[in-house]
Amino acid sequence: MTTTSRAVRRKSRPAAPPDPARPFLPTTEQIRLLDPAGTPLPAHPDYPVPPVEALVELYRRMVLGRRFDLQATALTKQGRLAVYPSARGQEACQVGAVLALRDEDWVFPTYRESMALTARGIDPVEVLTLLRGDWHCGYDPAVRRTAPQCTPLATQCVHAAGLAYGEAYQGRDTVALAFLGDGATSEGDFHEGVNFAAVFKAPVVYLIQNNEYAISVPLSRQTAAPSLAYKGVGYGVPSERVDGNDPVAVLAVLTRAVAHARAGHGPFLVEAHTYRMEPHTNADDAARYRDADEVASWQDRDPVVRLETYLRDRGALDDTTVARVAAQAEEYAADLRERMHDKPTVDPLTLFDHVYAEPTPQLVEQRAQVRAELAADQEGAG
């Protein structure tokens, strides 16, 4: 070794290798394409504004979604539903996610995604079956490509990974989108799901609606991470943060996430910052854990108003269209109200029909017992 080469080595350190985590890290600021007042921000290089027709449709379904949500809350107060977890304030996430998908893609919703399911075109009565109480899942998940609404937290994250992998395994380009909330990111199944999806390069989009609360527990008790979007980097999953009350940004980010998954690059994780305007459910008292000023501050970031302002300013929406959409929403709610008014008929004998493909001898015996009880009741009543 010569003196010269030693001198050279002393002078120049080898260049630091590129940070291998960089491709997975979210942007430090939430992706935002509209300001809270609905004024467009400068164009973002990675997230072009979606076509205006898509945004008008997004607006329409958000208005219908909000009306549905209000109606469901009203139905709860009238005793038609056992309980209803509202998603008011989260319309951009609920509807934007669904619009980013194709019909043949799969959705893995939680109990708070009723609005997303109606936006997907599922009959609202079938969506509310779970909460009305005549069965668990009211729609046909296989036909609707929509899993039953998941009440256990985060378990659907693993199902989405498996379904997406299974579809790809069989040569189909289906994408699975799993909804979850901020609280669910603390559950083990979230981590196992994201990890499985990453290891098997499964085409899944994980959409975390961070609405600041898991019932009463604030985000600060769920995580010490700078944001939930940083959960992806540990699994090698590209992740992004988006203003969840900016419908244009939500659709833009999810469109890119879905395209990433469909192209075979594996899962993508999105954290949408939003806010639950209502209590956890009608049975909850939010005043015990958050103050009115906080709720009011989010009123100014209403995603429906924000999109309407933007579309009006662009000349893509006028009074006539707004009125027509409002009328559609009223009609939708009236139809739902009317159909939910009828008490559904339930048949206790169907309790034994879907436990196994064929009932066990024990279930056959129990069915006969219930049948006899029902007959005796009828005789007694007659």
From 6-14, 162-170, 210-218, 371-379, give the range in contact with other proteins by CB under 8 A: 162-170
**Binders of other proteins: how many residues, by CB under 8 A?**
41
Interface with other proteins (CB under 8 A), residue from 142, 224, 296, 381: 142
Does residue 355 interact with other proteins by CB under 8 A?
yes
CB of 296 to other proteins, least distance (A): 38
Interface with other proteins (CB under 8 A), residue from 353, 369, 372, 377: 353
Instruction: Say whether 276 is catalytic.
Output: yes
- Beta bridge pairs of residue 218: 213
The one catalytic residue in 32, 120, 132, 276 is 276
CA 365 to chain CA centroid, nearest Å: 42
Interface with other proteins (CB under 8 A), residue from 33, 99, 101, 164: 164
The one catalytic residue in 289, 290, 314, 367 is 289
Instruction: Say whether 136 is catalytic.
Output: no
Instruction: Say whether 120 is catalytic.
Output: no
The one catalytic residue in 144, 280, 301, 306 is 280
Give the strand pairing for 213-214 and 217-218: antiparallel
E strands within 30-144?
Answer: 106-108
CB of 187 to other proteins, least distance (A): 9
E strands within 102-198?
Answer: 106-108, 176-181
| Nearest of 85, 7, 107, 52 to residue 312 by alpha carbon | 52
Sign (positive or negative) of CA dihedral 224, 226, 229, 230: negative
Rounded CA separation 54/18 (Å): 38
Contacts of 237 (CB under 8 A, 6+ apart): 24, 194, 197, 198, 206, 266, 267, 268, 269
Interface with other proteins (CB under 8 A), residue from 35, 123, 189, 335: 189
Does residue 155 interact with other proteins by CB under 8 A?
yes
From 20-28, 42-50, 147-155, 327-335, give the range in contact with other proteins by CB under 8 A: 147-155
Exposure string over 268-307, b if 16+ CB within 10 A, otherwise e: bbbbbbbbbbbbbbbebebeeebeeeebeebeebbbbebb
Rounded CA separation 187/38 (Å): 35
Does residue 360 interact with other proteins by CB under 8 A?
yes
Interface with other proteins (CB under 8 A), residue from 15, 224, 292, 357: 357
CB of 166 to other proteins, least distance (A): 3
Nearer to other proteins, 15 or 142 (CB): 142
Rounded CA separation 272/112 (Å): 15
CA 115 to chain CA centroid, nearest Å: 9
Interface with other proteins (CB under 8 A), residue from 91, 167, 240, 243: 167
Catalytic residues: 276, 280, 289
Q: Residues in the site for other proteins, rule: CB under 8 A?
A: 106, 135-137, 140-143, 147-148, 152, 155, 157-167, 169-170, 176, 188-189, 192-193, 195-196, 199, 353-357, 360-362
